[in-house]
Amino acid sequence: MSAGSGAGTPRHVEGVPAPDQVAIPGGEFAMGSGLEPEERPIHRVRVDPFLMDVTAVTNAQYRAFVEATGYVTVAERPLDPADYPGALPELLVPGSQVFVGTAGPVDLRDLLQWWAWVPGACWHAPAGPGSSLAGLDDHPVVHVAYEDALAWATWAGRDLPTEAEWERAARGGLEGATYAWGDEAEPGGVRLAKWFEGDFPYRNAPRDGFEATVPVGSLPPNGYGIHEVTGNTWEWVSDWWSDHHPADADKPCCVPANPRGGPEARSFDRAMPQIRIPRRVIKGGSHLCADSYCRRYRPASRRPQMVDSATSHIGFRTVTRPAP
């Protein structure tokens, strides 16, 4: 079932339609996992039926939006020094975070060793000045902040999913499974998500030949017909970040319907109290997830991301909900 009418009608600009959507059945499911602290507790939630993009939004689809509207992404705008007290002046320029890898083994507790703030990096120059999207039209758009993802969704007559909607869709009808396809990471020796192969963060040996993302639709869909819902890129959802699911969420008496996360006031990073930028949830892991470091190419996976921050491994997909 594809979206084709009403608020979810795909935009067509210069022959570049929004992603097709498939129907995700409403119902109750077990959300979360016991694998990471932020994924606990496992609890029941209920969501209404909705439509979800079959793939992440691509570079070509994002370009159509920018050309139609003149939109300028967060990574391309000047920074306000008041938002970043103590930041070095040379960092207060438009840009984004780019994965650069390392020359050899490093302490995996220090992620700043493989991330670099690159002035000029943005969705159409993903590695910084001089880079381009040549050959990447069908890859997921990256270097989009939350506002940028929501702007595209609104233009397309869609919305960003809630965390519960996203996880419902990512599970593909498999109740409690570890991965979007079951409990075995590589059934029959086949990789069903795009993640880092090799020694992270210095030696990547991808069997598919792609150092970073793969084109959308490259890997088999899950049980609901959704491609690359885990791995490839993390994806924005609309919930404000919380350190874990609600402590009382697993009470059998009180299954929440269409939950939307906690309050914005609790989303700030307590480790950086001087930076008052709220955080949203990102879901599903990316091509940089390595088994030795970050096995988060799973439906339950969740991480915080400041709403103004774009990186080379975060993208998005959208939903359409029935009219009330």
- What is the per-residue pLDDT for 4? 34
The pLDDT of residue 85 is 83
C-alpha distance across the termini of the chain, in Å: 20
Q: What is the mean pLDDT of residues 66-80?
A: 95
Whether residue 302 is contained in a domain is answered as: yes
Do the beta carbons of residue 231 and residue 179 sit within 8 Å? no
At residue 279, the pLDDT reads 98
For 228-245, the pLDDT digits (tens) are: 999 999 999 999 999 999
Domain membership flag for residue 61: yes
- CA proximity to 221, closest of 184, 175, 171, 178: 171
60 within some domain: yes
Q: Report the pLDDT averaged over residues 112-140.
A: 97
Of the chain, the percentage scoring pLDDT greater than 70 comes to: 94
* Mean pLDDT for the stretch of residues 76-93: 84
The pLDDT of 218-225, averaged and rounded, is 98
| 105 lies in some domain | yes
Q: Is it the case that residue 1 has pLDDT exceeding 80? A: no
Q: Give me the mean pLDDT over the 306-314 stretch.
A: 97
- Tens of pLDDT, residue by residue over 194-210, are 999 999 999 999 999 99
Residue 253 has pLDDT above 90, yes or no: no
Tell me the pairing of strands 234-240 and 314-315: parallel
What pTM value is reported for the model?
0.93
Give me the number of domains the chain comprises: 1
The Cα-based distances of 237 to 95, 250, 283 in angstroms read 22, 22, 7
The predicted-structure confidence for 129-170, as pLDDT tens digits, reads as follows 999 999 999 999 999 999 999 999 999 999 999 999 999 999
From 135, 140, 151, 157, select the one nearest 66 (Cα to Cα): 151
Q: Say whether pLDDT at 8 is over 60.
A: no
Instruction: Judge whether 228 lies within some domain.
Output: yes
Per-residue pLDDT at 11 exceeds 60: no
Which token pair is 148? 């940028």
CB of 216 closer than 8 Å to CB of 58: yes
Q: Containing domain of residue 250, as a range?
A: 6-320
- Mean of per-residue pLDDT scores for the chain: 92
Look-up of token digits 């914005």: 264
Which residue has better confidence, 12 or 169? Answer: 169
What confidence score (pLDDT) does residue 252 get?
Answer: 65
For 31: left if phi > 0, alpha if psi spans -120 to 50, otherwise beta; the answer is: beta
Q: How much of the chain exceeds pLDDT 90, in percent?
A: 85
How far is Cα 168 from Cα 33, in angstroms, rounded to an integer? 13
Element (H, E) at 65: helix 59-69
The predicted pLDDT at position 72 comes to 98
Q: How far is CA 297 from the centre of its chain?
A: 11
Give the model's confidence band at 15: pLDDT under 50 very low, under 70 low, under 90 confident, else very high.
low
Give CA–CA dist 250/255, Å, rounded. Answer: 8
Q: What is the CATH number of the domain that holds 237?
A: 3.90.1580.10
pLDDT of residue 244: 93
Mean pLDDT of 81-107: 89
- Residue 248's pLDDT is what? 63
Residue 1 lies in a domain: no
pLDDT, residue 16, reads: 85
Tokens of 256: 């929440």
Q: pLDDT: is 89 or 45 the higher one?
A: 45
Residue 109 CA to residue 131 CA, distance in Å, equals 30
